[in-house]
Amino acid sequence: MTKKEWLIAAIFTFITICAWVIFDILHARSQVEIPTKLQEVIEPISPDFNTQEVESQP
C-alpha cells in the first residue's frame, strides 16, 4: 500500500471510531423511565422472616 492509501485507511478508521464513541455516548445517555406502578413491583423483598406468624398458624 502506498502512503496515500494508508492515510485514507487511517482517516476512515478514525471517523469510524469517532462515530462509534459518539453513538455509544448518546445511547448511554438515553434514559428509559420506569412507571411508578412497575417500580413498586420490582422493589426488593424484605429479608426479615416473621417466625411468629408461621408459628401461630394451625
Top pLDDT among 54 and 12 is at 12
pLDDT band at 56 (very low <50, low <70, confident <90, very high): confident
Please name the residues in contact with 1: beta carbons below 8 A apart, sequence gap of 6 or more: 9
pTM (2 d.p.): 0.51
* Per-residue pLDDT reduced to its tens digit, 21-46: 999 988 888 777 778 888 888 888 77
Q: What is the pLDDT of residue 45?
A: 78
Q: Where are the domains of the chain?
A: 1-41
Which H helix or E strand runs over 6? helix 3-29
